[in-house]
Structure 1
Amino acid sequence: MSLITRIQSWGDHHHPKWLDYFRIALGVTLIWKGIAFALNLHAFTNLMNQVSIGTATSISFGAHLIIVLHIIGGLLITIGSRTRISCLLNIPILIGAVFFVNMRDDIFRPYAELWLSYFVLLGLICFLIEGDGILSIEYEKNKTFKAGNGQSII
Structure 2
Amino acid sequence: MEITQRIENWASTHYPAWFDFVRMGLGVFLFVKGFIVLSQIDSVQMFISNINALNGTNVNWNAQLLVQFIAYMHIIGGLFIALGFLTRIAIFFQLPILLGAVLFTMPGMRMDAGNTMAQGGINFVWTEVNLNTTTFEWWTALFTLILLISSFIIGSGPWSVDKYLEHYEET
TM range (shorter): 0.7 to 0.9
**Pairing 1:120–2:144 present:** yes
CA RMSD of aligned residues (A): 2.7
Counterpart check, 1:78 vs 2:78: no
Q: Tell me how far apart the structure 2 counterparts of residues 53 and 110 of structure 1 sit (CA, whole Å).
A: 33
Give the ranges of 4+ consecutive aligned residues of structure 1 lying more than 6 Å apart after TM superposition: none
AA aligned to 1:74 is G
Task: Tell me how far 1:110 sits from its aligned partner.
Answer: 8.3
The TM-score with structure 1 as length reference comes to 0.81
Deviates more, 1:122-131 or 1:39-48: 39-48
Contact 2:45/2:67 (8 A) holds in 1: no
**What's the CA shift for 1:119?**
1.0
Name the % identity.
Answer: 31
Aligned length: 146
Alignment of 1:96-115 (within 5 A): 96-103=100-107, 104=109, 108-109=132-133, 112-115=136-139
Give the Cα–Cα distance (whole angstroms) in 2 for the partners of residues 115 and 46 of structure 1. 22
Q: 1:19 to 1:109 in 2, by over 3 A?
A: same
**SS of residue in 2 equivalent to 1:55:** coil
For the residues of structure 2 that align with 1:60 and 1:19, how far apart are their CA atoms?
A: 35
Query: For 1:109 and 1:123, how far apart are their aligned partners in 2?
Result: 24
Note if contact 2:105-2:137 (Cα within 8 Å) is conserved in structure 1.
no
| 2:15 aligned with 1:15 | yes
Note closer, same or farther for the CA distance 1:126–1:44 as it changes in structure 2 (3 Å cut): closer
More helix, by proportion: 1
The residue type equivalent to 2:95 in the other structure is: I
Comparing 26-35 and 46-55, the one that deviates more: 46-55
* CA offsets 1:98-150 (integer angstroms, 9 cap, x no match): 112343497545871111111110111011111110111111221223xxxxx
The gaps in structure 1 that reach 5 residues or longer are 146-152
Q: How do 1:1-150 residues align onto structure 2 when only pairs under 5 Å count? A: 2-46=2-46, 48=49, 55-57=60-62, 59-103=63-107, 104=109, 108-109=132-133, 112-145=136-169
C-alpha deviation, 1:11, in angstroms = 1.5
The answer as to whether partners of 2:105 and 2:135 remain within 8 angstroms in 1 is no
Q: Once the 2 structures are TM-superposed, how far is the Cα of residue 27 of structure 1 from its aligned partner? A: 0.5
